[in-house]
Structure 1
Amino acid sequence: MGTCSLRRIIRGEQVLYDTGSYLFREFQGQGYGRLMRRMLLHLAFEGFGLKEVESAAQPLNRASVELSRSLGYHMAGHTDDAHECWVINAQAWAQHARDDDPQIMMTGVEGLAEQLHCPSAP
């Protein structure tokens, strides 16, 4: 179907958390990418207590750009390799989280949060 990821990136003194997702063509346009990203953001903010995450997109990949925008990310600039850098913080996510989101039960996130050096859950 595809993949999604949350990575911890260290750039000098700065620690960032990056989200990414990819769907195989036959699964695109059916809402799976949106669902994957919503679940990943829920984990990042509600499970790991992160304050902000970013996502890079190729400017010509309009579907990726529009998905990020619709979920509350805002354009924050460009990466070194000319991708657009999109950022969302916990407050913006809270405004975009919906009552009809699937019920997500998280177990065992403490160990994973520790491995990613995330703050404790809110």
Structure 2
Amino acid sequence: MITDHFPILGLRVRTPRLELRPPSLDDLSALADLAADGVHDPAVMPFLVPWTDQPPAGRALSVIQYNLGVYSRWTPEEWHLPLAVLREGRVVGVQDMTARDFAVTRQVSTGSWLGLEHQGKGIGTEMRAAVLHLAFAELGAREAASGAMEGNTPSERVSRRLGYRDDGTALFAIRGAPLRERRFRLTREEWASHRLDLSITVTGLEPCLPFFGAEDRSE
């Protein structure tokens, strides 16, 4: 089985409503359809890389190619974990987590997107809570970072609800104009005091630990 060689593909994170898992080819097809149908109001750009400015077919193809590519570049020193988010067996979006030199820094960063029809239902908060549980409770992370472009109020609200604190800003050129990103940071202690009262389970993790650079999960 492929998980004998790359166990990351067998990782599962579950909450009362959601399942997060590395996307299968069928999941990628569903994500491509979601992206083609739209991820946000075209008048705003919530991403540093404006991949959603492409036509629907281009958005769909970019989702497939990008997600397949992250596995080919995976190393314990620099990894990117994209997780398809499913609700009642239906793919609704993506929650990802990245890290560089995790064995040393114990720091992760997160990002996400949801199909338009699935927004405003609390899914974004629940899937972020799920990946933070994976980071802090299972991998031994000490800090998590996130960011929200100006105007991306839903993402900022999720961060604040989960206990992140302000961590400065950065200015980028997006669509030929300056746009500021607000950055947030969450320590292990802040996560513990703000974590949601959710039953979260993780399966398939043990063989993945060397791939995350997380064999030593001591405090």
Quick one: which amino acid aligns to residue 147 of structure 2? A
Q: Say if 1:56 and 1:79, in contact at 8 Å, map to a contact too.
A: no
Task: Call closer, same or farther: CA 1:60–1:113 in 2, change over 3 Å.
Answer: farther
Q: Where does residue 97 of structure 1 map in the other structure?
A: 195
Q: Say if 1:113 and 1:120, in contact at 8 Å, map to a contact too.
A: no
Structure 1 residues 1-122: aligned runs within 5 Å: 1-9=92-100, 16-79=107-170, 81=172, 82-98=180-196, 100-101=197-198, 103-118=199-214, 119-120=216-217
d(CA) in 2 for partners of 1:52, 1:108: 23
Structure 1 unaligned residues grouped into runs of 5+: none
Q: TM-score, normalised by structure 1?
A: 0.84
Cα offset, 1:112, TM superposition: 2.8
Q: Where does residue 87 of structure 2 map in the other structure?
A: none
* Cα shift readout 1:22-51 (whole Å, capped 9, x = no counterpart): 111110000111110111111110010100
* Cα shift readout 1:49-84 (whole Å, capped 9, x = no counterpart): 100010111121011111101110111012463311
Task: Call closer, same or farther: CA 1:59–1:9 in 2, change over 3 Å.
Answer: farther
Cα offset, 1:114, TM superposition: 2.3
d(CA) in 2 for partners of 1:16, 1:67: 19
d(CA) in 2 for partners of 1:78, 1:14: 21
Instruction: Give 1 or 2: higher helix fraction.
Output: 2
d(CA) in 2 for partners of 1:56, 1:9: 17
Cα offset, 1:90, TM superposition: 0.7
Task: Call closer, same or farther: CA 1:62–1:8 in 2, change over 3 Å.
Answer: same
Identity of aligned residues (%): 31
d(CA) in 1 for partners of 2:150, 2:114: 17
Quick one: which amino acid aligns to residue 111 of structure 1? P
d(CA) in 2 for partners of 1:120, 1:84: 30
Count of aligned pairs between the two proteins: 118
State the structure with more CA Rg: 2
Cα offset, 1:107, TM superposition: 2.4
Aligned-residue Cα RMSD (Å) equals 2.2
Q: Where does residue 89 of structure 2 map in the other structure?
A: none
Cα offset, 1:97, TM superposition: 1.6
